[in-house]
Amino acid sequence: MSTNVMNIISGSILEEEPTLNLAELCQCCQTPAEFIIRLVDQGVIAPLEGESTRQWRFHQSAQIRTHKALRLRQDLGINLSGVALSLELLDEIDSLKRELNQFKHIAENQLFDSNS
Amino acid sequence: MEYKDYYEILGLKKDAPQDEVKRAYRKLARKYHPDVSKESDAEVKFKEVGEAYEVLKDPEKREAYDQLGENWKAGQDGFQPPPDWEQNFDFGGGGYTQGNAEDYSSFFEDLFGGDRASSGRYHRSGGPSGGFQAKGENVRAKIMIDLEDSLNGTKQSVKMSIPEINEQGQVVSKHRTLSIKIPKGIKEGQTIRLSKQGNPGHGGGEPGDLLIEVAFNPHKLYNINEKDISLNVPVAPWEATLGAKIKVPTPDGKKMDMKIPPDSQQGRKLRLKGKGLPGKNAGDFYVVLQITLPPSSNPKVKEYNEKMRDEIDFNPRSYLF
């Protein structure tokens, strides 16, 4: 396989792209609307605006979250409330890790100071 | 083809009972699930575990696999199953019971794949004449970048392994290297979308997208939180007390003059608006003051501190009592 000649591909930041309606979200996740509605009911994803399902607008990150929910459900056999719980706990771990890194960063700097 | 030790992959002994196989699989599947694990090779491990379970959970397949194992010698790469081995076992046609065929290794394929040419699940029916047209699936990947990549929007090559089907109809993991431009100002946890770089479409449909989740390598100076960047800057006790003008390195590689206000306590944050990660809502750059003491081995330091102790009336712990 040749990897010498390559075009540089420019990507876009998914999260900053225009919002999705229900049909678009279904299409990019290849899942029926019923599943999306159940995810909204469980609070796994939330529409940014829109009273009725027809008017719903979703942030692009809902696409990633829906994918995760689909995969967790299929691969690990978790039901939807279990998926919701898992995703919430994973989010919490992420934010705790970020916070921990911040403290580690300070601690490392102080260690560096005391040696210098 | 390369022999795969399914028992080793699941961490099992050869004589493990069926319910132990199930338990081992479930535990490892949770551990290595790509949406749960942060390890970079989680996807590969997860697929391996799934493949191993697919064989070992079925007593018939497991028996067939065990027979093969005896004929296989360690270090022998060019493994071929005995020509008639499948005759005793009835899974000639289509061995998959769950999941996508693409998820299994060529080793699995050769043993349990069955008649690939006629397996509709494997060769997606279609072509423009089939009347069925659909966009290809989106493919997901992860990438680690440096702070500078997001600040400057630099070029990065991304290595990925994607399961593909070769001429023999086997599933091989193909390594693909893409050269991509990191979008300026992207933050941790965001996703780069590369249009039409995902799986090919069906029946003339357009290809899916490649979605790459971004994480940052730790930086030796700066700490990154969302779009904000912070830097710990040591200051002398008198600088913190009296105020001072110091130079600090900013993330863009420049030096900047900064005024420290008098009476700055340890940990005080000074903000430079808009100097964090660039973009629509640019982040801020924070300088966090770290009061750093000069060593008491210096006689002058000792002398001045003793003088302060004796002459200044200051009790920092008054609020404790």
B130-153 pLDDT, tens digit per residue, is 456 778 878 888 888 999 999 998
Q: Report residue B192: phi and psi, to 5°.
A: -90, 130
Determine the 3-state secondary structure of B21 from DSSP: helix
Residue closest to B160 by CA, chosen among B198, B190, B122: B198
Nearest CA in chain B to A94: B189
Rounded to whole angstroms, the Cα distance separating A4 from B260 reads: 51
For residue B195, give the nearest of B132, B139, B149, B279 by alpha carbon: B139
CA distance, residue B266 to nearest chain A CA (Å): 12
Return the number of CB contacts < 8 Å for A and B. Answer: 99
Q: Which value does ipTM take for this structure?
A: 0.77
Helical ranges in chain B per DSSP H: 6-10, 18-32, 42-56, 59-71, 106-112, 147-152, 237-242, 299-311
B243, B261 contact by CB (below 8 A):
yes
What DSSP state is assigned to residue B42? H
Dihedral (CA of B85, B89, B93, B98) sign: negative
| Residue of A9, A71, A108 to mutate when probing chain B, most B C-beta within 10 A | A9
In DSSP notation, A37-96 reads HHHHHHTSS--SB-SSGGG-EE-THHHHHHHHHHHHHHHH---HHHHHHHHHHHHHHHHH
Least confident interval from A34-48, A70-84, B27-41, B157-171: B157-171
- Residue A20, classed as helix, strand or coil, is strand
**Partner B contacted by A73 (CB < 8 A):** no
DSSP-derived 3-state class of residue B72: coil
| Partner-chain contact B181 A10, CB within 8 Å | yes
Tell me B202's DSSP state. B
The pLDDT tens digits of the residues spanning B208-217 come to 888 888 988 8
For each of chain A's 116 residues, which pLDDT tens digit applies? 444 446 788 888 998 889 999 999 998 888 999 999 999 999 999 999 888 888 999 999 999 999 999 999 999 999 999 999 999 999 999 889 888 887 877 666 555 444 44
225-254 of B, contacting A, C-beta below 8 A? 225, 230, 232, 234
